[in-house]
Structure 1
Amino acid sequence: MASILSESLNSSSPLMITNHPYYPLEVEIASYLANEWSMQVLLAIFSAVCATILFGTLTIVNRVHPNLPTSEKATIWWFVLSGAIHLFFEGYFSLNHTRMGPAQDLFGQLWKEYALSDSRYLTSDPFVLCMETVTAFTWGPLCFIVAAFITTSHALRHPLQIIVCVGQIYGLILYYATSMFDHYYKQVTYSRPEFLYFWGYYFFMNFIWMVFPGISSVRTIARAFKALEKAHSTSTSTKVSRNGSAKKQN
């Protein structure tokens, strides 16, 4: 009876495969299948999609808001691209994390290519799953909202831009930190050692969200408060001066 139950459980669970190119080499990946498309094809498609979003966004903004400064147009494009990557690409991972190993659709193969730099994406790692879910369904929609607010000079543009950027940076820091902790304290490495995978995928493709923070919004809000305090100080000084003059006349 026990053997029958054991066989039943084994047959209902996904096949765990260790013969794969991911680090650590002994990690088990459920029902893993190698990508059908090459790395060059996948990166070309991903680059083409990003370029399409770039030119599409700039074309629409130039037609609807031609007088916006170039820096604002670039910021809009960045948030539209970020929102698309967060909501659709990372959202795909959040919803399909249990079937990443055998996936052969475009996003599935792209994630398996990226996972050469971080195999946690193929093992339903709790931290990566939670982090990507928050990023996809919180920061993703907010990126689109910020982009829309920039075009209308909405009063909430700068506070929301700071919130989104701080959230992205915080998630990125934790992403790096958890990987480094496992590497140095548990001697577990998730990235292959090749330059492309560690420095290209793992480091650079994530670090760009650290380089583009909400510093412009911080400066804008700081200038606004400085101007408000200056105006308040001037108004207070004027009232004191008027009251003093009135007392002298009396």
Structure 2
Amino acid sequence: MDSPAPPSLSPVAIFSLLACGVQVLAAVLLTHRYGGRSSAQDRWVLLWLFYDVIVHLTLEGPFVYTSLVVCCLHFQEGPKADSRWLVSDPTIVSVEILTVVLDSLLALLLIHAVLNDKYYRHFLQIALSVCELYGGWMTFCPDWLLGSPHLDTSSWLHLWVYLVFFNGVWVLVPVLLLAQSWFCLRSLHTLRTDKNHISRKNM
């Protein structure tokens, strides 16, 4: 007996993936426009931050608005992988309110801090990264504890693209930003300690 053919990409799925590509392109253009004088490492950080803000405001923002005002959202492709996005699940909506408002604001402030080399850059970077990781945890952990009844992993597109890749990016990048902040703050502390040590020797 022949195995069933893998599902093909629907027009809605193709449109959704193209929209994601447009979001990435917008982030690249903004990084090129505003981050030209930044270091190579900071340009990657800015690329992520611009993309982060764009996604929060253009994808999750309409979801929050529609959930609170209309109480339904049927035009997105992503809910096919996680049905809670179709019924305005209170946990998801609560997390997304925090994400759209707080995370977007932190990301915009962090963009300013990176571009202008502000002293509070790593404080914001740590705060934003922790918020992103917390949002991901609260999005999936409650469903995992119930046996993942709302997650559809029957399709490679739903499992590997929508669930693993797109959500994995919001785990990997914040972890990398936390590591960057850790090493930068450690270097600053080491530099200050060395200066204090030299000052004591010269007294």
Give TM-score, length-normalised by structure 1: 0.69
C-alpha deviations, 1:176-203, integer Å up to 9, x for none?
211211116xxx2432421210221012
Structure 2 residues not aligned, in runs of 5+: 1-9
The answer to whether the 8 Å contact 2:84/2:150 transfers is no
User: For 2:53 and 2:31, how far apart are their aligned partners in 1?
Assistant: 15
C-alpha deviations, 1:45-95, integer Å up to 9, x for none?
3312321332x213312xxx5332222112111101101211332121111
Whether 1:57 aligns to 2:21 is no
In the other structure, the counterpart of 2:173 is 212
Q: How does 1:1-250 map to 2 (within 5 A)?
A: 38-54=12-28, 56-61=29-34, 66-97=36-67, 99=70, 101=72, 103=73, 109-110=75-76, 113-183=77-147, 188-213=149-174, 214=177, 215-239=179-203
- When residues 204 and 66 of structure 1 are mapped into structure 2, their CA distance, relative to the original with a 3 A threshold, is closer
Larger Rg: 1
User: For 1:198 and 1:100, how far apart are their aligned partners in 2?
Assistant: 26
- When residues 49 and 170 of structure 1 are mapped into structure 2, their CA distance, relative to the original with a 3 A threshold, is closer
User: For 1:42 and 1:211, how far apart are their aligned partners in 2?
Assistant: 22
In the other structure, the counterpart of 2:6 is none
Q: Secondary structure at the match of 1:212?
A: helix
Give TM-score, length-normalised by structure 2: 0.84
Residue identity (%): 18
- When residues 204 and 100 of structure 1 are mapped into structure 2, their CA distance, relative to the original with a 3 A threshold, is farther
Q: How much does 1:166 deviate?
A: 1.2
In the other structure, the counterpart of 2:4 is none
What is the CA RMSD across the aligned residues, in angstroms? 2.1
User: For 1:120 and 1:189, how far apart are their aligned partners in 2?
Assistant: 6
The answer to whether the 8 Å contact 2:64/2:97 transfers is yes
Q: In the comparison of the two structures, how many residue pairs are matched?
A: 190
